[in-house]
Amino acid sequence: MGLSPDIIQPLVAAALAEDVGSGDITSAAAIPDDARARAYIHAKEPCVVCGLDVVAETFRQVGARLAVTLLAADGDRAAPQQRVATLEGRARAILTGERVALNFLQRLSGIATLTRAFADRVAGTRATILDTRKTTPGLRVLDKYAVTIGGGANHRRGLYDQILVKDNHLVVLARYHAQPVAAAVRAAKQNAPGVIAEVEVKNLDELQQALDAGAELILLDNMTDEEMAEAVRVTAGRARLEASGGVSLERVAAIARTGVDYISIGALTHSVRAVDFSLEIEE
């Protein structure tokens, strides 16, 4: 699944407006207007590549006659020193677009690479790796795209497309209901029929509330592996279960073996390490 140009274009334009502003004064002052150059972008470490269409769009916007050739596709694994794109045209345009293009490529490849690492750890189980809403403001569509390129799946896009009753919702509901989890499920079914509704539970008692109220999707928050395994046994297929909280590469396989359907990981997007790429002008 690629990204629509209608999505990419305004995001790139905003990034260039932030970085270039009224103009790249360094390139304008130091580089002759008619100077031409060839350049390439290469990975400096093993990674899953993501964001190449965004790179191409960045250089399209800074130089209409700049030729960009993509040497890989999103989702490909790249080795150190492997070239993923070449550029040819006005030197000023290449220099102006360099940082914005690399910023997108490095972040999105970082998300895809980390997601692939988690997805590989749960291969052979029923668990699907999910992202969260812990994304960079304004770049959620790109962050979530990168998760899918890495082999994960998207949780809800925002507050508008799926109900997720979390702990703070339940604190408010506890003022009005002795069993806030059950009340939340019943309210979701009544007030938003047809919308996917999920409720967060912290223990097996709250899980039973959710099941008794007919919940179809339940988030197991910060439970131990033993508690999650028991939750799977008690649920017995009556609802889908999502594990969340305290998920690491070291622990994720054990979580998957409990039998949960989903494992959501905020770290995929909220604190991912960018992959190191470099743009080099050929001498």
Helix axes 204-212, 180-191, angle to 10 degrees: 30
Catalytic residue among 19, 216, 221, 276: 221
144 is catalytic: no
Catalytic residue among 83, 133, 134, 240: 134
198 is catalytic: no
Q: In whole angstroms, give the CA distance from residue 148 to residue 273.
A: 17
Nearest-CA neighbor of 48 among 135, 127, 145, 128? 145
Catalytic residue among 200, 206, 242, 261: 200
Nearest-CA neighbor of 186 among 214, 159, 208, 224? 214
134 is catalytic: yes
β-pair type (262-264, 277-281): unpaired
Catalytic residue among 99, 156, 186, 189: 99
β-pair type (217-221, 197-201): parallel
Catalytic residue among 166, 186, 189, 202: 166
276 is catalytic: no
Nearest-CA neighbor of 235 among 264, 261, 263? 261
200 is catalytic: yes
Q: Which residues are catalytic, by number?
A: 99, 134, 166, 200, 221
